[in-house]
A and B are shown apart, each in its own frame.
Chain A
């Protein structure tokens, strides 16, 4: 017993006050994305594995429809994966009790944890998957994230066919899902996409209480996490090829730049926001931009991961942002707490030239 207690301490895996590093460099070995009709008409259409299907009109969809995206993405990511299924499934979405995720998990037969960080669930899941793999608890972990426009509208706002005018700061919940398999370095190969570090976010509230302005509610959380990540790692935005935020959209992105500028951090041209990438905003009436847990997952899978695998991007910081509100809290006049978790990815592809 005492010999066990006196055993060698593992290498330090935390830098600064709150950033985890993963010495074994877990790899993202598989990913797949599935999107709805509107999203499949956007500028990233070619990058999605499945998309553009679904009805233009018709009766409102039930809860089962919300589960379909995550399940299809998971099946695609797992299709042909050798060596048996992953040992753990971490997943989340936007609906009460994470039902879409659990309904999908019902068909997947993998031990599952439901996660909720609203639209920041993707990076929470990837960070925890890296933790489980780096810690030696799992060889492989499946991470799924999804959101579904119609069911989210029903839960958070109004019935889908009810007409109402949204303000210009409003965002459009995307119908999108993505699945990722995180595995040990031995499986991913030297040239895979590695999860290098992660900075879990603090819950931040700057007093925004307008559910039609979630970008403003989330920008301070993103600023806090980015600032802490850079301080912990001793890096600057220039050390990253891209700093990708989840879904701050137009207003939130501008506020993020201002907030970080006040703290002496210039994002410059390194920043892009998934909420401004998914839709063709001249054609799609999505106001300030897209949002939804599945959105940044699908955008990251369609746009950034292929570039990391090919080595066009060497190092990317993904900062998914979530507004932690419910219809009850905003009707009771509470402000909107928000959270942002950051995960840093590094390309293993050989340097060009």
Chain B
């Protein structure tokens, strides 16, 4: 049979799970913790600097995020950031620097296809789902908050 039947498929999947190497979860988690922690510590450092300049914590958050995005974008352009993620996984993907990587990488990739149909149309190919479901999640959470705590006063 060129297309294996259900029983054969199940048997093969089981065989494969015995042969395939285990995902090194503990090692990956340790790396993610270390690198993610370092990126966040750098962010804290930048924010503290802005607060020393006299901004409030709320005011300092915005330029901090902007600076980290710049940092992630430049490292992506230099071809370094993908290596960080390969090493640290979510530790480097999850901070806002990783979000910058997800936008800048396709922008670089599709630049050859033109500014409009290349960069413009495909820049959000990777980050698009994050924006869509991030927005959706914030609506759901906001609605839950409204139902539980009532309208903001």
Hey, which bits of chain A sit against chain B, CB under 8 A? 57-60, 62, 154, 158-169, 202-208, 213, 216, 220, 250-251, 254-255, 258, 285, 288, 337
Q: Is B98 an interface residue (CB 8 A)?
A: yes
B19 touching A255, Cβ below 8 Å: yes
CB-based contact B8/A206 at 8 Å = yes
Q: Please report the C-alpha to C-alpha distance between residue A185 and residue B34 in the assembled complex, in whole angstroms.
A: 63
Contact A160–B105 (Cβ < 8 Å): yes
Q: In this complex, what residue of B is CB-closest to A254?
A: B19
Complex CA distance for A167 and B25, rounded to whole angstroms: 11
Q: Are B16 and A60 in contact (CB under 8 A)?
A: no
> A161 contacts B101, CB within 8 Å?
yes
Closest Cβ–Cβ distance, residue B31 to chain A (whole Å): 9
Main secondary structure of the interface of B (DSSP, over half): helix
Judge whether B3 is part of the interface by a CB distance below 8 angstroms: yes
Whether the pair A162, B84 counts as a contact (CB closer than 8 A) is no
30 A-B pairs with C-beta separation under 8 A: A58-B79, A60-B108, A60-B109, A154-B109, A161-B76, A161-B77, A161-B82, A161-B104, A161-B105, A162-B101, A162-B106, A163-B82, A164-B82, A164-B86, A165-B86, A168-B20, A202-B2, A205-B3, A207-B12, A213-B16, A213-B20, A216-B20, A220-B4, A250-B21, A251-B16, A254-B19, A255-B15, A255-B19, A258-B19, A288-B21
**Given A161-B81, A163-B84, A165-B28, A220:B23 Cβ within 8 A:** no
Which chain B residues numbered 111 to 139 have a C-beta less than 8 Å away from chain A? 111-112, 125-126
In the complex, whether B69 has a CB less than 8 A from a CB of chain A is no
Chain A nearest CB from B7 CB (Å) reads 11
Q: State the Cβ distance, A204 to closest chain B Cβ, in Å.
A: 5
**Is the pair A160, B98 in contact by a Cβ cutoff of 8 Å?**
no
With A62-B112, A205-B2, A205-B4 known, 10 other A-B pairs at CB within 8 A are A60-B108, A160-B82, A161-B104, A163-B83, A164-B85, A168-B24, A207-B13, A250-B21, A251-B20, A251-B21
Give Cα A254–Cα B102 distance, bound, in whole angstroms: 36
Residues of B within 8 A of A164 (CB): 82, 85-86, 93
- Given A60-B108, A158-B105, A202-B2: A165 and B89 interface contact (C-beta under 8 Å): yes
Contact flag A163-B86 (CB < 8 Å), given A158-B126, A204-B2: yes
> Interface residue count for B (Cβ, 8 Å)?
43
B71 touches A (CB below 8 Å):
no
**Which A residue sits closest to B90, measured CB to CB?**
A165
Specify which of B2, B28, B81, B126 lies most central, judged by the most chain A CB atoms within 10 Å of its CB.
Answer: B2
**Distance of A276 from chain B, by nearest CB (Å):** 14
8 pairs of A and B residues whose beta carbons are closest in the complex: A163-B85, A159-B109, A207-B9, A162-B105, A57-B79, A163-B82, A161-B105, A165-B89
User: Given A59-B108, A207-B12, are A285 and B81 neighbors across the interface (CB < 8 Å)?
Assistant: no
Cβ-closest chain A residue relative to B32: A165
Is there contact, CB below 8 Å, between A168 and B12?
A: no
A208 in contact with B16 (CB, 8 Å): yes
B residues near A207, Cβ cutoff 8 Å: 4, 9, 12-13
In the complex formed, the residue of B with least CB distance to A221 is B2
Least CB separation from B19: chain A residue: A254
Measured in the bound complex, the distance between the Cα atoms of B23 and A169 in whole Å is 9
Q: How far is the CA of A154 from the CA of B8 in the complex (A)?
A: 34
A-contact 0/1 string along B65-105, CB 8 Å cutoff:
00000000000111101111110011011000010011011
On whether the beta carbons of A169 and B21 are closer than 8 Å, the reply is yes
Collect the chain B residues with CB atoms within 8 Å of residue A250's CB: 21
Chain B nearest Cβ from A100, distance in angstroms: 15
Give min CB distance, B14 to chain A, whole Å. Answer: 11
Residues of chain A lying within 8 A (CB to CB) of residue B23: 167-168
Asked if B2 and A163 sit within 8 Å, CB to CB, the answer is no
With a cutoff of 8 Å between Cβ atoms, the chain B residues found around residue A258 in the complex are 15, 19
A164 CA to B112 CA in the complex, in Å? 23
CA distance A31 to B76 in the complex (A): 39
Bound-state CA distance A158–B93 (Å) is 14
Q: Does B110 contact A (CB under 8 A)?
A: yes
